[in-house]
Chains A and B, each alone.
Chain A
Amino acid sequence: MLRTPLFGAHEHLKARLTEFAGWEMPLSYSGVAAEHRAVRESSGVFDLCHMGRLVLEGTGVAPVLERLAPSRIATLRPGRARYTVILNGDGGIVDDVIVTRESDTRYHLCVNAVNRERVVDLLRKTADGGDTRVADLTLETAQIAVQGPDSAELVRPLLAGADFPAYMHTVRGEWEGQEIVVSRTGYTGELGVELFLPAAAAPSLWQRLVEEAVPCGLGARDTLRLEAGYPLYGHELTESVTPVAAGIGWVVDWSRSDLPARARLERDRKAPEQLLCGFSLSAPGVPRDGFPVFLDGRSVGVVTSGNMGISVGHGIGMTWLPAAHTDPGNAIEIEIRGRRIPAVVEQPPFYTRGTVRQSVD
């Protein structure tokens, strides 16, 4: 199993460890609920070194990305980050990624750990012959997220005088004399940043951050993102679904004349068969991945992600439903250990008090 540059720190903190996409990662330290609440109420810090970090350089990068993603990439200004998806030829989602333009000809791509090799391969194949160089910097760089309403104060000393970045913007910062990238992105629904830096500088920065922020593992990362209504690759997002049906159709720029997989995307826009929906249990219980979902007494699918919503106080989850039955408030049932528990369709986010877009002076 791969280990991140922060593995020693996790052992020192006596983290519970888990295998994730080939990496040995912290699942929790003080407990999922305490870590979750810290991010909602103050601040938490996450080791995200397992995420794939790719750098794409050359004059051909934007065209290559626009052949794979339904967003417009060429118009992204340096210093801006954009969430988008990599599509297969049929409009299915190969990965969901954050593209950051670092300069005119240099882009950074943050990809899911589980898809890293596949995405690198696809980028290189698509770039074939053009001026696009793809470098996988995952193992030589580090990624640490600082998330929560107090994160801006915590990060301020790292900004080297720059203003705290606006939502989906990046700025250059500094740690121990080395340049770092401070990106106003995250996966928790709260105000926060992701810090990108050389692997060797990560342990000392982590040490500094955990003096004030609560170290958080993948357990809290999952309960936080679920409450915020963010889909997870491999659960909600797969190669057989389009971003339009999966509730992230806003990544598609319909004005593009060269939109990849347009026919399939249009079909899902005009006449989708199924749509990804959030739901809340109306009775006590905890819905979990794979539990059967019933609509009007018939089985229509399974829960793709489910858990107790720690900040909302009831069971929440996501599932695919026939498109005609996805209005908020529609009744469904989730089968939990042989019993059908009533639930209602709800438009995420489940947790609506998140500070993710809050402006910072």
Chain B
Amino acid sequence: MAEMNRFTRDHEWARRDGELVRVGISDYAQDALGDIVFVELPQPGRRVAAGEAVAEVESTKTVSSVMAPVAGEVVEVNAALASQPETINRDPFAAGWLFALRPVRVAELDDLLDETEYRKYVEELSR
């Protein structure tokens, strides 16, 4: 069964991937940012707290911080984004992932919004 995406109110998605938690930004976030032209990714090995700014996503219009949805250690980053940051616009939930964490407590994911709750949250924002 495919793992479900979880969401933060800052528009990151987080998804279990074996022992890791893969993280990216939502479709709503990439659309709001516009054309993404540069991504600054964390160093693997860095330990981060939930809510800590881990990456920066820059569009032609603005820059936005990407927060760690759960506490953990950065173990992988999506190096392909260095040369093709626009992948995030094209495919935010798959090829446009940003980094993967080894979570301190994977159960922290359950504290995040599920797909339905996030959709409702975004609808309220857009209203």
Q: Mark interface residues in A140-157 (1 if CB within 8 Å of B CB, else 0).
A: 000000000000000000
Shortest Cβ distance from B59 into A: residue: A32
CB distance from A290 to the nearest CB of B (A): 12
CB distance from A16 to the nearest CB of B (A): 8
Q: Is the CB of B63 within 8 A of A288?
A: yes
Q: A31-B34, A32-B35, A284-B82 are in contact. Are A308 and B58 (CB under 8 A)?
A: yes
Q: Mark interface residues in A24-56 (1 if CB within 8 Å of B CB, else 0).
A: 000110011110100000000000000000000
User: Count of chain B residues with Cβ under 8 Å from any Cβ of A?
Assistant: 14
Residues of B within 8 A of A84 (CB): none
Assembly CA distance A27 to B35 (angstroms) = 12
Q: A284-B82, A285-B38 are in contact. Are A33 and B60 (CB under 8 A)?
A: yes
- From A285, A308, A337, contact of B60 by CB (8 A): A308
Task: Specify which of B35, B40, B82 lies most central, judged by the most chain A CB atoms within 10 Å of its CB.
Answer: B35
Residues of B within 8 A of A27 (CB): 61
B37 at the interface (CB under 8 A from A): yes
Q: Is the CB of A310 within 8 A of B63?
A: no
Q: A33-B86, A284-B82 are in contact. Are A307 and B60 (CB under 8 A)?
A: yes
A198 at the interface (CB under 8 A from B): no
Assembly CA distance A285 to B60 (angstroms) = 12
- From A219, A285, A337, contact of B34 by CB (8 A): A219
Assembly CA distance A223 to B81 (angstroms) = 21
Assembly CA distance A34 to B59 (angstroms) = 13
CB distance from A125 to the nearest CB of B (A): 39
- From A28, A34, A310, A337, contact of B37 by CB (8 A): A310
Shortest Cβ distance from B86 into A: residue: A33
B56 at the interface (CB under 8 A from A): yes
Q: Mark interface residues in B12-39 (1 if CB within 8 Å of A CB, else 0).
A: 0000000000000000000000110110
A286 at the interface (CB under 8 A from B): yes
Residues of B within 8 A of A223 (CB): 60
User: How many CB-defined contacts (below 8 Å) exist between A and B?
Assistant: 40
Q: Is the CB of B35 within 8 A of A286?
A: no
Q: Mark interface residues in B29-58 (1 if CB within 8 Å of A CB, else 0).
A: 000001101101000000000000000101
Q: Mark interface residues in A1-30 (1 if CB within 8 Å of B CB, else 0).
A: 000000000000000100000000001100
Q: A33-B37, A308-B38 are in contact. Are A286 and B63 (CB under 8 A)?
A: yes
Residues of A within 8 A of B40 (CB): 284-285
Assembly CA distance A307 to B36 (angstroms) = 12
Q: Mark interface residues in B78-105 (1 if CB within 8 Å of A CB, else 0).
A: 0000100010010000000000000000
Residues of A within 8 A of B61 (CB): 27, 32, 219
Assembly CA distance A315 to B63 (angstroms) = 14
Q: Mark interface residues in A272-293 (1 if CB within 8 Å of B CB, else 0).
A: 0000000000001110100000
CB distance from B84 to the nearest CB of A (A): 12
Q: Is the CB of A28 within 8 A of B34?
A: yes
Q: Is the CB of A33 within 8 A of B35?
A: yes
Assembly CA distance A285 to B56 (angstroms) = 10
CB distance from B61 to the nearest CB of A (A): 6
Q: Mark interface residues in A321-354 (1 if CB within 8 Å of B CB, else 0).
A: 0000000000000000100000000000000000
Shortest Cβ distance from A18 into B: residue: B61
Interface residues of A in 213-245 (CB under 8 A from B): 219, 223
Q: Is the CB of A219 within 8 A of B82?
A: no
Residues of A within 8 A of B59 (CB): 32
Assembly CA distance A307 to B34 (angstroms) = 14
- From A34, A36, A219, A284, contact of B38 by CB (8 A): A284
Assembly CA distance A36 to B63 (angstroms) = 19
CB distance from A282 to the nearest CB of B (A): 14
- Top 5 closest A-B pairs, CB basis? A308-B37, A33-B35, A32-B60, A286-B58, A286-B38
Contacts A32-B59, A33-B35, A308-B60 known; 7 new A-B pairs at CB < 8 A: A33-B86, A36-B60, A288-B63, A307-B60, A308-B37, A308-B58, A310-B60
**14 CB < 8 A contacts A-B:** A16-B34, A27-B61, A32-B60, A33-B37, A33-B86, A36-B60, A219-B34, A223-B60, A284-B38, A284-B82, A285-B38, A307-B60, A308-B58, A308-B60
